[in-house]
Amino acid sequence: MKLFINGQEETVSLEEASIAELLSHKRVEMPEMVSVEYNGRFLRRDEYERIRVKDGDRIEFLYFMGGGSN
């Protein structure tokens, strides 16, 4: 299955994986660290288990970055 993850085309051998499984496959330790954009739509956390990725999907894992001042 070909996916576009963070703008890069990747072949992933996880058929019908959930977003949660994809996060763990991509070694995102805690799902709370990212916001997930799936085919242009931002997902709610409660959708991570339910949504199954399919060939050609575009997924962005956007990390929280809080730094700036201190």
Judged by CB under 8 A, the residue of 5, 20, 37, 39 near other proteins is 37
Question: How do beta strands 41-42 and 34-38 pair?
Answer: antiparallel
User: Residue 70, interface with other proteins (CB under 8 A)?
Assistant: yes
Q: Write down the residue that tokens 């499984």 correspond to.
A: 21
Site for other proteins in 46-65 (CB under 8 A): 60, 62-65
- Give whole-number Cα distances, 17 to 24, 50, 54, 55, 63, in Å: 11, 10, 8, 11, 21
Nearest distance, CB of residue 57 and other proteins, angstroms:
15
Residues lying near other proteins in the complex (CB under 8 A) are found at 6-7, 30, 32-33, 35, 37, 40-42, 44, 60, 62-70
